[in-house]
Amino acid sequence: MEELANLFHGFSVVLQPYNIMLMFIGIVLGVIVGVLPGLGGANGVAILLPLTFSMSPTSAIIMLSCIYWGALFGGAITSILFNIPGEPWSVATTFDGYPMAQQGRAGEALTAAFTSSFVGALFAVIMITLVAPLVANFALRFGPAEIFSVYFLAFCSFIGLSKEPPFKTLASMMIGFGLGAVGLDQVTGQLRLTFGFESLLSGFDFLIAVIGLFGIGEILLTMEEGLSFRGKAAKINLKIVFQTWKELPRYWMLSLRSCLIGCWMGISPAGATPASFMSYGIAKRISKRGKNFGKGEIEGVVAPETAAHAAGTAALLPMISLGVPGSPTAAVLLGGLLIWGLQPGPLLFTEQKDFVWGLIASMYMGNIVGLIVVLTCVPIFAAILRIPFSVIAPIILVLCAIGAYTVNNNAFDVVMMLVFGIAGYFMKKTNYPLAPMVLAIVLGDKAEESFRQSLLGSQGSLSAFWANGLVSTIMTLGLIALFWPILQGLWTRLRGAAGLRAAQ
């Protein structure tokens, strides 16, 4: 196994004390960056990129990729504690993570989130180690139509899950699509729905909506119910980590499925966000306790976190081997490669062995270091919930405002954040689900873009979505997912009928 020899060489590079120190620094910075809403992994890496200029490329990528891992871990923390997802792919984590925190199970939720992140990443790294070239070529088969079909599948596997009235779900999702459409239309280069307002040029960023709808909305709801955080009684000792670990192996099937979804989404350049939603949606359908999802079910934390982290890790593969970034953070790392004088592409694996295998080894090590760092901090994070609401609430408001501002460096976004917060309060109270709206804002624009790119290619013919085996398969899977409740009903009825007949 030449790969293994290379990998061990990589480990020898990574395990130098200097590099291990950089790894710790990177993880800690990454967690901070991930926790602060708005300042996500992409920003964090971009901001710190110039600092790595005087390091060797291998040390630099170790530090930057560790910031990336740290941010992936960190995104889950605010989602679980305050219902504020720091990154798009932690939105699905809030659905069950936040209710768990409210029930005083924050430590459990955090442990589950961190551990599943680690499992997802590890799975993806092993895949990269063993089958990198094969997988990279698979990514090449994704044209606009294939990419659209992936988004389609993500929507279909998530839609129809909410217990809210169907027309409220529809209204919520469509408003999300509408908000996502504001700004520049990528395909025609035209401005739309901006009505001449300069503040609307950049549209409604997903983060602004999420910080408002989830974060501010939650603070308003808490205010209405009186000044208390219900999660006060959170257990804060390290035992909780081991107790949760005992429970987790039970969900191995769920983890495996989420890993596979994550890897696939990461390689096809759809990324971690659809992966997390898709994995959550499928888990809810398949799980025996599916009905409890959204009320604090640990599986609802394991599924999206595993998939998101697997996707986030797998997204680095097309970046290294093809030079196409699978995520915004990967895009910045890609810029870094070029700045250090490395050309990402098919030849990087043969020409820059030290670098590539050093990076892969640092994926293993970085995630192990990351897991240790965040797990030891679980009691500290959980203890944050003990801070009285009247102290933590204004601080959350301030951090949300800073987060909203830093997304586009636009003060108008801070105003919009508050508007979304009030909207979130009213929608939640009148039973409109927020998740479909957020999903639509995140993916709607990209889905529309790839849809229209496909139609440009096929000259307006919808046959583009059934043109080859790959795209037809994904579209069919999507349709099955969409009509799953009906199919399931039919199936049980058929079985019931057959059973009756057999009995007669």
Residues 406-445 binding other proteins (CB under 8 A) are 406, 408-411, 414-415, 417-418, 421-422, 425-427, 429-430, 432
Scan residues 311-340 and list those touching other proteins (CB under 8 A). 318, 322-325, 328, 331-332, 334-335, 338-339
Rounded to the nearest whole angstrom, what is the least distance from the CB of residue 328 to other proteins in the complex? 7
Q: Which residues pair with 183 in a beta bridge?
A: 192
Question: Which residues have CB under 8 Å from 439's CB, separation 6+?
Answer: 91, 154, 155, 158, 173, 176, 277
Cβ closest to other proteins, residue 273 vs residue 306: 273
Q: What is the DSSP string of 468-494?
A: SHHHHHHHHHHHHHHTHHHHHHHHHHH
Rounded to the nearest whole angstrom, what is the least distance from the CB of residue 39 to other proteins in the complex? 7
Q: Which of 346, 477, 482, 483 contacts other proteins by CB under 8 A?
A: 346
What is the contact mask toward other proteins in residues 143 to 172, using x (rule: CB under 8 A)? Answer: xx--------------------x-xx-xx-
30 phi and psi angles, rounded to 5 deg: -60, -45
Total residues contacting other proteins by CB under 8 A comes to: 115
Scan residues 62-121 and list those touching other proteins (CB under 8 A). none
191 phi and psi angles, rounded to 5 deg: -85, 140
Cβ closest to other proteins, residue 25 vs residue 248: 25
Rounded to the nearest whole angstrom, what is the least distance from the CB of residue 398 to other proteins in the complex? 4
Number of helices (H) and strands (E) in the chain: give both, helices first: 23, 2
Using CB under 8 A as the binding rule, whether residue 196 contacts other proteins is answered as yes
Rounded to the nearest whole angstrom, what is the least distance from the CB of residue 47 to other proteins in the complex? 5
Eight-state DSSP code of residue 331: H
Q: Which of 5, 15, 21, 51 contacts other proteins by CB under 8 A?
A: 51
Cβ closest to other proteins, residue 331 vs residue 372: 331
Using CB under 8 A as the binding rule, whether residue 224 contacts other proteins is answered as yes
What is the contact mask toward other proteins in residues 371 to 390, using x (rule: CB under 8 A)? Answer: -----------------xxx
Q: Which of 130, 131, 223, 480 contacts other proteins by CB under 8 A?
A: 223
d(CA 279, CA 285): 10
Cβ closest to other proteins, residue 430 vs residue 504: 430
Q: Which of 20, 25, 46, 384 contacts other proteins by CB under 8 A?
A: 46
What is the distance, to the nearest Å, from the Cα of residue 267 to the centroid of all Cα atoms in its chain?
14
d(CA 48, CA 28): 13
Q: How many other C-beta atoms lie within 10 A of the C-beta of residue 489?
A: 11
Scan residues 14-33 and list those touching other proteins (CB under 8 A). 32-33
Using CB under 8 A as the binding rule, whether residue 401 contacts other proteins is answered as yes
SS3 state at 183: strand
Using CB under 8 A as the binding rule, whether residue 53 contacts other proteins is answered as yes
CB 207 within 8 A of CB 38: yes
Structure tokens, 147: 């990419």
Using CB under 8 A as the binding rule, whether residue 140 contacts other proteins is answered as yes
Cβ closest to other proteins, residue 300 vs residue 344: 344
d(CA 392, CA 228): 11
Cβ closest to other proteins, residue 67 vs residue 282: 67
Cβ closest to other proteins, residue 54 vs residue 504: 54
Interacting stretch for other proteins, rule CB under 8 A, among 97-105, 179-187, 284-292, 470-478?
A: 179-187
Scan residues 240-299 and list those touching other proteins (CB under 8 A). 269
Question: Which residues have CB under 8 Å from 473's CB, separation 6+?
Answer: none
Using CB under 8 A as the binding rule, whether residue 343 contacts other proteins is answered as yes
Q: How many other C-beta atoms lie within 10 A of the C-beta of residue 410?
A: 18
Rounded to the nearest whole angstrom, what is the least distance from the CB of residue 447 to other proteins in the complex? 9
Rounded to the nearest whole angstrom, what is the least distance from the CB of residue 441 to other proteins in the complex? 12
Strands 190-192 and 183-185: antiparallel
Q: Which of 7, 22, 42, 374 contacts other proteins by CB under 8 A?
A: 42
Question: Can you state the percent helix, strand and coil of the chain, rounding each to 5?
Answer: 80, 0, 20
Structure tokens, 502: 């057999």
Cβ closest to other proteins, residue 126 vs residue 470: 470
Residue owning tokens 């987790």? 248
Rounded to the nearest whole angstrom, what is the least distance from the CB of residue 36 to other proteins in the complex? 8
What is the contact mask toward other proteins in residues 451 to 480, using x (rule: CB under 8 A)? Answer: -xx-xxx-xx--------------------
Max Cα separation, the chain? Answer: 81
Q: How many other C-beta atoms lie within 10 A of the C-beta of residue 188?
A: 9
CB 191 within 8 A of CB 451: no
Tell which residue, 492, 474, 416, 387, has the closest CA to residue 216: 416
Cβ closest to other proteins, residue 103 vs residue 194: 194
